[in-house]
Chains A and B, each alone.
Chain A
Amino acid sequence: MTDTTSKPGYELTERDEGSALVLYLQGRITLGDADLLLARMNDAVAAGNPASVRIDLSGVSYMDGAGVLTLLRLEDSIRKKGVSFTLVRVPEEIRRVMGLIDREGLTRSPLRAEGGPVGIVEGLGSASVRISEDFAAMMAFLGDLVAAVIHLLRHPREVRWEDVFFYVRRVGAEGLPIVGLISILIGLIIAFMSSLQLKQFGASIYVASLVAVAIVRELGPIMTAILVAGRSASAFAAEIGTMRVNDEVDALVTMGFDPIRFLVVPKLIATVIVLPLLTLYADLFGILGGMIVGVAGLDLTAYTYLQESQRSISVFFLNASLVKAAVFACIIAWIGCQRGFQVRGGVEEVGAATTSAVVTATLLIVVVDSAFAVVLNYL
């Protein structure tokens, strides 16, 4: 930040000539001098109460646009008081700058008023409209996506399999380190926290059951889905959003390709393949994390821990967690791509679409997981 409050590079001298006040300006007048100079000149005029004011600019070596603006503002304020105002010995360069300034434009109202604070009712109303429009757009896109999937099920040769394998690697293989690390830490935390309670009742062996059930039934699928939403829904939105900004999507359409079949379906297939596998991987690492606590802190053997874990996990719940993972995968691909297609303006909308993709996908994953919890309870 540049400090403009330091000593000014100009001098202001006043001379009283009877009813006229003459102000001599000398030196350099720049942006930082504007406010102080205006105040000083106004004070001088107010103190002298003259019938006319003359500003002599012959000693000015440099005056920038802000300096010239200061003179115009002074003129306006002096003329409002009914005092005559004259600029004398104005250097040609300053005169030329003045010639470029649209004086009427300085006070003209903007074509559009500045956006002020929105009232509660108006805010609620516009938010409701926005949400309902957003919901309609999501549903319309889902309809297009389902139609594209049905078409490609009937014509599997049209699927861009090389893109599917690319996204399998991008969404799955490249996500293995972070999913593994988070899962093992979640397993460690659950085992450690539950062991503090269960140890008091001599029920340490149930730590294995608790970790296995929590990880396989709930935390494995949902944590993996949220991690993949963070990594991949954002990437899908950014990729497609940037393509929209660069007219690449329009180019696809003009070449006769359906952008949903071309861009979205490979991502959807890849995510549906990969997320259940990542979930199994997360389950294994979560149980491993719990086993570390069990073996190191609870004097259990690895064999006992694994046997207890195996006993607590039913095939039904394992299958249910894989189905959940597949549904979450659909949500991630659907929302990530839909947010990308929503980009209309410039690059700043790509950032907004990316954020929105992660937030919406995460929200929907949690809502759908809650619905699964209720439904599975009755099965």
Chain B
Amino acid sequence: MKGNRDTAQGPDDPVIVVESLTAGFGETTILENVNLKVLRGEILCIVGGSGCGKSTLLKQMIGLIRPDNGRVLVGGDDIAAVDDERLNRIRRGIGVLFQSDALFGSMTLGENVALPLSGFKGISAETVQLIVRMKLGMVNLVGYENHYPAELSGGMRKRGGLARAMVLDPQILFFDEPSAGLDPINSAELETLIRGINAGLGTTMVIVSHQVDLVLRVAHRILMLDRGAKGIVAAGSPEELRNTATDPRVRNFLFRGEAAVGGR
């Protein structure tokens, strides 16, 4: 067995390809001619200041908005061109942890996590319950299935959102500002989970964040977007960028306070 992957592709195949993407709102262009690849099993962090198009790029990759120009290929499928049935199948292969956790307040945590399973026939209630407990166990929330989101702390809700995003064993997990609003301890716990799930399940992860410390700790690769450039201004592993990036926008954002490359 080459790996516990639900495809015949190899580890260096891209799972997402963004080609010549242009996107914006009305007359305003936010991203122009953006090209990128997300490789299988990597943790890719997309960073940049406010308004640089990070969230827009994320929404393009999960098919919530369509590009003005260019293509987004997920698993080889152009998600703007496929029919609704195919798009839904593609979406079942991805999980998203939203910035606000997006747990439904009228449902218990267990019901929230079980919700994606309700789209499948032929699964017994006992299996659903065990899967929910298994996923809650993976995010250290065992025992909280009958609690409502309003009764949980911000960090617990984030982890609950992660359990729901993971319930269908997605190949790709997207995180929109995962540590926003979390204290350092909860943030560190979430980081540990992200790394553990990536290492244990081999899940490809795309993280959109402006929390530089989190990004530098978890990323295999970083893409930095810039509002003025309307696209990517730097790409590489944290070490590569630390050692080679000379662009002041990149150094100011990612390595503020550190000596410049070649500096004394």
Taking Cβ atoms with an 8 Å cutoff, the residues of A that contact B are 1-5, 28, 30-32, 34-36, 58, 60-66, 69, 73, 91, 93-94, 96-97, 99-102, 105-106, 108-115, 345-349
Q: Is B185 an interface residue (CB 8 A)?
A: no
Neighbouring A residues of B122 by C-beta, 8 Å: 3-5, 32, 35-36
Neighbouring A residues of B149 by C-beta, 8 Å: 346
Neighbouring A residues of B147 by C-beta, 8 Å: 111-112
The reply to whether B201 and A108 contact each other, CB–CB distance below 8 Å, is no
**0/1 per residue, B104-145, Cβ < 8 Å to A?**
111000100000010111111001001101111110001111
Neighbouring A residues of B119 by C-beta, 8 Å: 1-2
The reply to whether A112 and B146 contact each other, CB–CB distance below 8 Å, is yes
Q: Is B180 an interface residue (CB 8 A)?
A: no
Q: Which residue of B lies closest to A90 (CB)?
A: B1
12 CB-based A-B contacts, threshold 8 Å: A30-B6, A32-B122, A35-B123, A69-B131, A97-B4, A99-B200, A100-B138, A101-B138, A106-B137, A108-B142, A109-B143, A111-B143
Interface SS of chain A: helix, strand, loop or mixed? mixed
The reply to whether B199 and A96 contact each other, CB–CB distance below 8 Å, is yes
The reply to whether A5 and B121 contact each other, CB–CB distance below 8 Å, is yes
Taking Cβ atoms with an 8 Å cutoff, the residues of B that contact A are 1, 3-6, 92, 104-106, 110, 117, 119-124, 127, 130-131, 133-138, 142-147, 149-150, 166, 168-169, 196-197, 199-202
The reply to whether B146 and A115 contact each other, CB–CB distance below 8 Å, is yes
Instruction: Determine the distance from Cα of A109 to Cα of B121 in the docked complex, in whole angstroms.
Output: 27
| Minimum Cβ distance to chain B for residue A31 (Å) | 6
Neighbouring B residues of A346 by C-beta, 8 Å: 105, 149-150
The reply to whether A2 and B3 contact each other, CB–CB distance below 8 Å, is no
Neighbouring A residues of B146 by C-beta, 8 Å: 110-115
The reply to whether A65 and B143 contact each other, CB–CB distance below 8 Å, is no
Given contacts A114-B146, A347-B105, contact A2 B4 (CB under 8 A): no
The reply to whether B120 and A93 contact each other, CB–CB distance below 8 Å, is no
The reply to whether B123 and A105 contact each other, CB–CB distance below 8 Å, is no
**15 new A-B contacts at CB < 8 Å, known A1-B120, A102-B138:** A3-B121, A31-B169, A32-B123, A69-B131, A69-B134, A93-B4, A93-B202, A97-B201, A102-B134, A105-B142, A105-B143, A110-B145, A111-B147, A114-B146, A347-B105
| Minimum Cβ distance to chain B for residue A241 (Å) | 13
| Minimum Cβ distance to chain B for residue A8 (Å) | 11
The reply to whether A58 and B1 contact each other, CB–CB distance below 8 Å, is yes
| Minimum Cβ distance to chain B for residue A14 (Å) | 21
Given contacts A31-B120, A32-B120, A111-B147, contact A65 B197 (CB under 8 A): no
Neighbouring B residues of A96 by C-beta, 8 Å: 4, 199-202
| Minimum Cβ distance to chain A for residue B113 (Å) | 12
Instruction: Determine the distance from Cα of A106 to Cα of B1 in the docked complex, in whole angstroms.
Output: 28
Neighbouring B residues of A114 by C-beta, 8 Å: 146
The reply to whether B135 and A65 contact each other, CB–CB distance below 8 Å, is yes
Contact residue among B1, B133, B196 (Cβ-Cβ distance under 8 Å from A100): B196
| Minimum Cβ distance to chain B for residue A40 (Å) | 14
Instruction: Determine the distance from Cα of A94 to Cα of B135 in the docked complex, in whole angstroms.
Output: 16
The reply to whether B123 and A73 contact each other, CB–CB distance below 8 Å, is no
Neighbouring A residues of B200 by C-beta, 8 Å: 96-97, 99-100
Instruction: Determine the distance from Cα of A30 to Cα of B171 in the docked complex, in whole angstroms.
Output: 13
The reply to whether A4 and B121 contact each other, CB–CB distance below 8 Å, is yes
| Minimum Cβ distance to chain B for residue A205 (Å) | 57
Neighbouring A residues of B121 by C-beta, 8 Å: 1-5
Given contacts A96-B200, A114-B146, contact A62 B6 (CB under 8 A): yes
| Minimum Cβ distance to chain A for residue B264 (Å) | 45
Neighbouring B residues of A109 by C-beta, 8 Å: 143
Neighbouring A residues of B133 by C-beta, 8 Å: 105-106, 108
The reply to whether A31 and B123 contact each other, CB–CB distance below 8 Å, is yes
Q: Which residue of B lies closest to A28 (CB)?
A: B6
The reply to whether A94 and B105 contact each other, CB–CB distance below 8 Å, is no
Instruction: Determine the distance from Cα of A106 to Cα of B144 in the docked complex, in whole angstroms.
Output: 12
The reply to whether B143 and A64 contact each other, CB–CB distance below 8 Å, is no
Neighbouring A residues of B130 by C-beta, 8 Å: 69, 73, 106
Neighbouring A residues of B6 by C-beta, 8 Å: 28, 30, 62, 64
Instruction: Determine the distance from Cα of A3 to Cα of B123 in the docked complex, in whole angstroms.
Output: 10
Q: Which residue of B lies closest to A349 (CB)?
A: B105
| Minimum Cβ distance to chain A for residue B207 (Å) | 19
Q: Which residue of B lies closest to A344 (CB)?
A: B150
The reply to whether A2 and B120 contact each other, CB–CB distance below 8 Å, is yes
